[in-house]
Copies of this chain bind each other. A is one copy, B any other.
Amino acid sequence: MTPQQTPQQIAERCAALMWADDQAARGLGLELLEVGPGMARARMTVRPDMVNGHGICHGGFIFTLADCAFSYACNGYNQRAVASGADITFLAPAQLGDTLVSVGQVRQQGGRNGLYDIEVSNQEGRMIALFRGRSSRIKGTFFDNLNSANGTPP
């Protein structure tokens, strides 16, 4: 890391590079609202193609939204990390047209494994789901720490 890069700048640069390849997040209409060291905030609107046989948002899309916030939160240290697992509790249904926001926050990040808590709430502030993600670092960084001139924050 060059001296002029703060943890916040590193997190933003990782997110920008990750976002460029994140077809899944873009395909879901996800907006990445904010990233920081060990945190991320993302928004998604429940579309007709996210509705299940009960007429409410499929839990898989709520999980995916949470998983996105988790992913950007745990990848913001310029060390690539993947989800090794997660537990989700669904607290209230999300309806077609709802705007959901997920906020992810690190609880513990060791040299290899991390634990992150993610909350998903709707436009009225109602809690929709609580997600606890387990991350595992893999080999690789997002950018070369010695040549950071091209960093483009999201």
Query: Within residues 29 to 67 of chain A, which ones have a CB less than 8 A from any CB in chain B?
Result: 48-55, 58-61, 63-65, 67
User: Chain B residues near A17 (CB, 8 Å)?
Assistant: 53
Of all chain B residues, which has the CB nearest A64?
A: B60
Find out whether the CB atom of B90 lies under 8 angstroms from the CB atom of A84. Answer: yes
Find out whether the CB atom of A115 lies under 8 angstroms from the CB atom of B134. Answer: no
Find out whether the CB atom of A55 lies under 8 angstroms from the CB atom of B21. Answer: yes
User: Chain B residues near A51 (CB, 8 Å)?
Assistant: 21, 23-24
Of all chain B residues, which has the CB nearest A27?
A: B49
Find out whether the CB atom of A53 lies under 8 angstroms from the CB atom of B90. Answer: no
Find out whether the CB atom of B67 lies under 8 angstroms from the CB atom of A59. Answer: yes
Find out whether the CB atom of A71 lies under 8 angstroms from the CB atom of B83. Answer: no
Of all chain B residues, which has the CB nearest A89?
A: B85
- The distance in angstroms between the C-alpha atoms of A20 and B53, with both chains bound, is 7
A67-108 CB mask vs B (1 if < 8 Å, else 0) is 110010001000010111111111101000000000000011
Closest 10 CB pairs of A and B: A60-B64, A18-B53, A27-B49, A24-B58, A22-B53, A85-B89, A87-B87, A60-B67, A21-B53, A63-B63
